């Protein structure tokens, strides 16, 4: 089945829309080949402000009204306890809330942007999607992440080369309770790193400090501008360590 055939068969649907590469292309496809595909952005403390801004920008560019669903995921104890299967409980909370809102708006079909490159054995959240009967057209049609990027570029979407991003909760070690204060520290620290020109990094909390993980291509710069990094990050973190094992320059999923 092609994506065009999928939307001809399912012309009306609610889409969980993060503003990332996958859901962005899926929204474009739904608006191109479907009839009524509406994007819903689930706003939680796990998403940085810039993700919401990207989602709003793309919706504007496609001429699509964006519905924002506010969810206090920190009120879910199974999530804040931060167990190994935290993502399962989080997806249950997010998509249950989204399904309720979408059904109230007249949508019975709920979609997400999981693609054919995503490994279900490494993503406990996919189990929750299956239980909630969320459809993943990209995965069902065999469209991989590289294909999504190529097709997005052809479609003129600014998200075509957007780096893979995992939610802020992944920066907190498994088993360490998640708090709003820690999420805010991570977001502020990562915003500071973006402002300095760093990309594709992770800032992982370690107590009051953090471990900074960078691609190999940015290691030397981090060392030469050490003072700038410390000035930018010490307002939020007591100490910073640099992981000498570089992050992969390739697609990085889930963490």
pLDDT at 121: 63
Distances (CA, A) of 173 to 9, 25, 122: 43, 32, 17
Regarding the domain delimited by 3-161, which CATH topology (the fold level of the hierarchy) does it fall under? Rossmann fold (3.40.50)
Digitized pLDDT (tens) for each residue of the chain, 255 residues in all: 999 999 999 999 999 999 999 999 999 999 999 999 999 999 999 999 999 999 999 999 999 999 999 999 999 999 999 999 999 999 999 999 999 999 999 999 999 999 999 876 667 778 888 898 999 999 999 999 999 999 999 999 999 999 888 899 999 999 999 999 999 999 999 999 999 999 989 999 999 999 999 999 999 999 999 999 999 999 999 999 999 988 875 544 444
pLDDT at 90: 95
- In the block, tokens 């996919």 appear at 126
What residues does each domain of the chain span? 3-161, 168-242
Domain 168-242, CATH: 3.30.70
pLDDT at 248: 74
- Torsion on CA atoms 249, 116, 169, 93, rounded to nearest 10: 170
Structure token digits, residue 32: 């191109």
pLDDT at 253: 40
């Amino acid at each position: 089945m092609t994506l065009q055939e999928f939307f001809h068969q399912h012309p009306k649907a609610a889409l969980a829309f993060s503003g990332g590469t996958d859901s962005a292309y899926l929204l474009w496809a739904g608006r191109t080949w479907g009839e009524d595909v509406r994007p819903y952005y689930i706003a939680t403390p796990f998403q940085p402000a810039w993700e919401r801004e990207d989602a709003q920008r793309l919706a504007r560019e496609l001429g699509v009204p964006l519905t924002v669903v506010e969810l206090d995921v920190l009120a879910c104890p199974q999530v804040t306890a931060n167990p190994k299967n935290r993502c399962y409980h989080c997806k249950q909370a997010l998509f249950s809330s989204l399904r309720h809102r979408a059904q109230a708006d007249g949508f019975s079909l709920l979609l997400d942007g999981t693609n054919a490159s995503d490994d279900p054995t490494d993503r406990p959240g996919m189990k929750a999607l299956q239980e909630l009967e969320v459809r993943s057209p990209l995965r069902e049609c065999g469209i991989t992440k590289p294909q999504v990027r190529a097709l997005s570029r052809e479609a003129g979407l600014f998200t075509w080369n957007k780096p893979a991003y995992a939610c802020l909760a992944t920066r907190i070690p498994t088993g360490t309770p998640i708090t709003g204060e820690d999420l805010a520290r991570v977001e502020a620290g990562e915003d500071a790193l973006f402002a300095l020109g760093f990309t594709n990094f992770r800032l992982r909390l370690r107590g009051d400090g953090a471990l900074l993980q960078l691609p190999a291509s940015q290691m030397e710069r981090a060392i030469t501008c050490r003072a700038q990094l410390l000035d930018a990050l010490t307002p939020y973190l007591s100490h910073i360590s640099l992981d000498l094992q570089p992050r992969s320059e390739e697609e990085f999923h889930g963490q």
